[in-house]
Amino acid sequence: MSSQTTNSYVDLIKNGIFKENTIFKLALSLCPSIAVTNNLRNGVLMGMAVLFVQVMVNITVSLLRHFIHPRIRLPVFMLIISGWVTITDMTMAAFFREAYKEMGLYIQLIVAFASILARAEMFASKNRVTPSLFDGIGMGTGFLFALSVISFFREFLGKGSLWGFPIIDAKPLLIMVLPAGGFFAVGILMGFFNWIEMRYAKKQRSS
Amino acid sequence: MTGRDIIKITLNLVVIYIVGGIILTVVYAWTSPIIYRNDVLEKERALKELMPEAETIEKLGDWTIHDKHAEYFIGRRGDEVVGYIVQSFGKGYSSYINTLIAVDKDFSVQRINILGHAETPGLGDEIETEGFRGQFKGKDKEYLQVVKTDTKDYIQAISGATISSRAVAEDAVKNGVGFLINRIREGKDGEQSDHE
């Protein structure tokens, strides 16, 4: 592997985390980003589930891209996605029982994530397996990162704990664990990330 | 669209369905026994926790409340009956609260446990706390009433979550205990006959 291609893989991952971050930049999949992020554990597990599904779907679609007839590519992508989501769903039900009880419904909803179908259609169906794999890792990690940050702030501010362990003996901002707080957290963090990016872009231009 | 296309599309879909179906079957066959075993284990643990003084806890039968299926159990130590456990549901603010209630052989409440609910985080979910659940110890059915002031005789409501508190005390626990009294003490087959 030449350094040229290594670089492009790193770029693919960076692209998913920063430039095209599903939640902070594209504002997609906001429903789960509010619904399951009132504690850190659920946020991280949801992010990992999406990361896994995105990577597996990208690999599968990329492997099958010459086999799938273009006229039926979307139904086939949906079948692939729902297959992987069902596998994730059953595995989580078996091994992450406690978390699954609270977020089982949202795991099944991964089927309907626009971002996963979009990456399959726009990237994986046109690229070889390795770049598709890295694209999946990038997009999935971006989602995991966003959900972790949101749920970190929501659990800490709303319950004074992290991952279920009490950190401070107070509930500074109870509203953060309620649904309304989810909108505040997502909105404020989205603004913050865009502000950082604007500053970064300005600095690059002036130098 | 030519005939070749139609054949290719059919082949595409058939292969994907078959391969996907096989993979899902394998995963299901692998995970479903684990899920089932965990369910059973969790239930046993929950029952044991509720009635540590019992040596064996045995299922007596089923009943329904709020159109939900629930079970009841008898706890024995040797040949002696130490008490009963009943599962019950209470209609809360935003969910049905799934509750397990342990009573001694005189039907006075010993412990309760909240198995599942979807009440408001931070307010209604205080029903899970030891502070709230502890109040039920030693309460007879007549004292399962929620009041908003300081109380030792009755159940004190959680501030900001009166509906959830009532759902547990006056709906789930009261009806559960009422059902046990009817079914076991009086031997009546009164399904929810004490339902208010």
Q: Could you count the other beta carbons within 10 Å of the beta carbon of residue A22?
A: 29
Q: Closest by alpha carbon to A64, among B156, B13, B193, B30?
A: B13
- Confidence (pLDDT) at A207: 67
Residue B91 lies in a domain: yes
Q: Mind telling me how many Å the CA of B110 is from chain A's nearest CA?
A: 26
Q: Is A178 close to B38, i.e. CB distance below 8 A?
A: no
Helix (H, G, I), strand (E, B) or coil at A190: helix
Q: Would residue B195 count as lying in a domain?
A: no
- From the candidates B31, B36, B95, which should be mutated to test the interface with A, based on the most A CB atoms within 10 A? B31
Give A174→chain B minimum CA distance, Å: 7
Q: Which residues of A touch B116 (CB under 8 A)?
A: 101
In a domain, B190, yes or no: no
Determine contact, residues A66/A51, Cβ cutoff 8 Å.
Answer: no
d(CA B12, CA B6): 10
B81 and B171 together in one domain: yes
Q: Which domain holds residue B37?
A: 1-50
If asked whether residues B75 and B149 sit together in one domain, one would say yes
Residue B109 · residue B136 · CB < 8 Å? yes
Task: Please say which residue of B50, B69, B85 terminates a domain.
Answer: B50
What's the whole-model pTM score? Answer: 0.74
- Shared domain for B80 and B140, answered yes or no, is yes
Q: Judge contact between B194 and B175, C-beta under 8 A.
A: yes
B38 with B107, same domain: the answer is no
Bridge-partner residues for A161, per DSSP? Answer: A166
Kindly report, residue by residue over B19-78, the tens digit of the pLDDT: 999 999 999 999 999 989 988 888 888 888 888 888 888 888 888 888 888 888 888 888
pLDDT digits (tens, 9 = 90+) for B145-169: 888 888 888 888 888 888 889 899 8
Separation in Å, CA of A18 to nearest CA in chain B: 32
DSSP H/E element including B65: strand B56-65
Residues of chain A with pLDDT under 70: 1-4, 207
Of residues B24, B116, B120, nearest to A178 (C-beta): B120
d(Cα A81, Cα A36) in Å, to the nearest integer? 21
Residues B36 and B74 in one domain: no
Residue to substitute from A59, A66, A69, A103, interface B, most B β-carbons within 10 A: A69
